[in-house]
Chain A
Amino acid sequence: MTHRERTLRVGALARVEGQGAMYVRARDGRVEEVRLDIYEPPRFFEAFLRGRAHTEPPDITARICGICPVAYQMSACRAIEAACGVTVSEPLEALRRLLYCGEWIESHTLHIYLLHAPDFLGYPGAVEMARDHRHVVERGLALKKAGNTIMELIGGRPIHPINVRVGGFYRAPTRAELAALTGPLRRALDDALATVEWVAGFDLPDDRLDHEFLALTADVYPIEGGVPRTTGGRTFEVADFEDHIIEEQVPHSTALHARLAGGGRYLTGPLARYALNRDRLSPLARDASRAAGLGPVCRNPFQSIAVRAVEVVYAVEEALRLIEAYRPPPDPYVAVPPRAGIGRGATEAPRGVLFHRYELDPAGLIGSARIVPPTSQNQAAIEDDMRAVVQARLDLDDAALTAVCERAIRNYDPCISCATHFLDLTVERS
């Protein structure tokens, strides 16, 4: 009896953040192994955070990811404020949410237009796509810029903002400064709606995932905080995150895989947020999702591009609402005097739930730190989905099958720079 073995490799994935590779092995018509390999070098953030002051993690952990630095700053602030028993006042929370809206707009638009849409339209990248669709790419860049403008004004700069501190901000903007964002954001809202319409017209491959979804939930669509909840009905406090999320090393893999305690793999990110919070979207964003043909829950991961586009509509509208309602806080920050303790914080990064935990000594020096980024939580789900995608398409030739695998990976917008300090590097190849 002869065995037919077939392997697919992509040594360096394009249009993802960070350095990753893909490996698939099939034998006799059955997929035997699927891996999203991480070869991004480790940077040891958890190790060198030890001994730093409790005021430092927002600046230091921002450097884990240039695409979503605000997410790191916000989760770090939440965790340290929890450790010190400090709550931040409402106007400061609103300002944090506004800054975070800027990052959602920037990060999602980057992914939709520059990283993902070229797959659907058959181009290697957005620059090549612009040769045939210049006005579309220009619209994407303008929308992305609107997000960056929010981050520049409130944060000081779009990458690694300087204005965030534990307890709030160094300086709160004036009403007049924020009002200057209104015009660009109104135009951005038109662009965001046009984006939903555009991606809704893409031809989507069929696929269906059955993972449990995990997202934060709140009175509003969750961004800068909330209570973790799953589609399986599990709800828990952020303080109990580590009791519910187990990370383990599986023998055949080089990555730590996250799963729910007493449960299986799960997915966090736009599809999960949408499934658990759709009724918290603004009426306009909900209408846009309906017009794009999205049901109350999207289980085809190829629909994630449309869900991201809907979230951009929401984030632009929410930014406009927050600017309209803004009253400068009496002080730009609340004091956060150090004390011994452990604090945990979680927020919704563009790619999903981002968890931080810090242990402080009485002087506020960090004894231990733990960071659980969304991409390492999603790794098991991504690999499982790749397996299904390949199994259903084994009749395709290698080039076509590899291309569809890469597309499937991009559905999750994996941020390998984020994930890497949790993932092992060396891959054993037989």
Chain B
Amino acid sequence: MDIVVCIKQVPDTTEIKINPVTGTLIRDGVPSIMNPDDKGGLEVALRMKDSMRANVTVITMGPPQADAILREALAMGADRAILLTDRKFAGADTLATSNALAGALKCLKWDLVITGRQAIDGDTAQVGPQTAEHLGIPQISYVTDLVHENGNMFSARKETEDGYQILEFETPALITVLSSANKARYMSVRGIVEAYGKEVEVWGADKIDVPEEKLGLKGSPTKVKQAFAKGLKGAGEFYEVDPEEAVSIIISKLKEKFII
């Protein structure tokens, strides 16, 4: 069985701070990490490798320095790594990203494609399902468990707002995985040593059969018109009143904020 896991390098958003004077983002020195949901997806694939000798390929689209997360994936146990990098991919929204990924996936052999549910820098959860549509295969999103039934039959546990569902499907298919699905393994010392001996294949836009107008900024139906910081917090309100009145104040504020 062949599995391709799509991963993304992201800034660790929990480390981003706001400059208290200017109200702008401080991105300097923010570490880059493998997106947590993608790592959960990679772990699902590696467990399939452990249990049924699946062959695991990782692929990422990003700048040349995204090589780091591919090495990390190799050190965790992935067999092959591909870096999709080209100026023509730059400025891609989710649809243009999925066009490029689907193009690359069409050059590979696989039974199952795994992506993370969403990336912590965008939180859209769109690239997985969009890629599945381009490939003409079913998707199961929000997966926390994958079980091989028999042959090419699998069942997945999909998380929902008020519980979960068990869905049965046949490969080829694409699943999007939550980081809470598992506890991803660490890189092994041997894995790290080997990872630096392995080749990371670098693919440009010419390697995939996707028209240029479907890639990068050009291929993006959505554009950012404006970006702005949330702004600094104004001084809060403060009350010293009896409990009844305090409760009324809280309720009216929550209504004002559309929370209730």
The judgment on whether A and B are partners is no
